[in-house]
């Protein structure tokens, strides 16, 4: 399957202490691998990452986890700057007993995610475009439970350039 093409997803580097919430399904994790290497491995002049990178990865089972060792090593080396949550649809169950998808993980951590977004965090989505409706439904449901309008929140995130979608 072809990966993301066209406009390359770029990491906003204006604030090295920003929070980046990265949501991927399958091979959609590839661009984030590049970001994370830049944050944690490369010696980049004028850019020392001091923020939080939080990766949510959804795949069918643990055999399909890409770059798992690399991501796990960041967890050990940079526990204050990296979080990694996996949704394994064939191996894990969500709270209602169904398959665990990436949106179930988003819902599980929705309080933190919404607080981070309110504080200016960037959120990225990369993977097959079929991932977005379920995620959007979950975010809308969570917003409503919090007494917020998702449409308003989404347009604000887009206006602030905090919302980044690269699906294919």
Assess whether pLDDT exceeds 90 at residue 10: no
Assess whether pLDDT exceeds 70 at residue 66: yes
Contact present, 83 and 55 (Cβ < 8 Å): yes
pLDDT band, residue 6 (cuts 50/70/90): very low
Among 10, 32, 30, 13, smallest CA distance to 21 is for 32
Structure tokens at 57: 């990865």
pLDDT in tens, 109-161: 999 999 999 999 999 999 999 999 999 999 999 999 999 999 999 999 999 99
Query: Which residue in the block uniquely carries the two structure tokens 């998808």?
Result: 101
Segment 63-91 mean pLDDT: 95
Segment 62-74 mean pLDDT: 93
Contact present, 102 and 87 (Cβ < 8 Å): yes
Among 129, 121, 113, 105, smallest CA distance to 28 is for 129
Among 165, 164, 166, 137, smallest CA distance to 150 is for 137
CATH code matching the domain that covers 19-167, chosen among 3.20.20.10, 3.40.47.10, 3.40.50.80, 1.10.3720.10: 3.40.50.80
Q: What percent of the chain has a predicted confidence (pLDDT) above 70?
A: 94
Contact present, 78 and 40 (Cβ < 8 Å): yes
SS3 at position 165: strand
pLDDT at 9: 65
Among 68, 55, 50, smallest CA distance to 126 is for 55
Instruction: Work out the mean pLDDT of the chain and round it to a whole number.
Output: 91
Of the CA atoms within 13 Å of residue 72, those in its CB half-sphere come to 6
Report how far residue 67's alpha carbon sits from residue 54's, in angstroms, rounded to the nearest whole number. Answer: 15
Report how far residue 165's alpha carbon sits from residue 129's, in angstroms, rounded to the nearest whole number. Answer: 9
């Amino acid at each position: 399957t072809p990966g993301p093409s066209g406009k390359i997803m770029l990491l906003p580097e204006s604030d090295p202490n920003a929070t980046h919430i990265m949501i991927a399904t399958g091979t959609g994790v590839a661009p984030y691998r590049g970001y994370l290497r830049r944050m944690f491995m490369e010696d980049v002049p004028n850019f020392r990452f001091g923020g939080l990178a939080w990766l949510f990865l959804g795949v069918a089972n643990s055999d399909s986890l890409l770059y798992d060792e690399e991501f796990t090593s960041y967890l050990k080396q940079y526990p204050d700057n990296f979080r990694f949550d996996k949704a394994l649809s064939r191996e894990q169950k969500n709270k209602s007993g169904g398959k665990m998808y990436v949106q179930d993980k988003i819902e599980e951590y929705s309080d933190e995610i919404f607080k981070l977004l309110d504080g200016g965090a960037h959120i990225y989505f990369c993977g097959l475009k079929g991932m977005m409706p379920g995620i959007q439904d979950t975010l809308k449901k969570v917003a409503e439970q919090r007494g917020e309008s998702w449409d308003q929140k989404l347009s604000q995130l887009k206006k602030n350039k905090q919302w980044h979608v690269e699906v294919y």
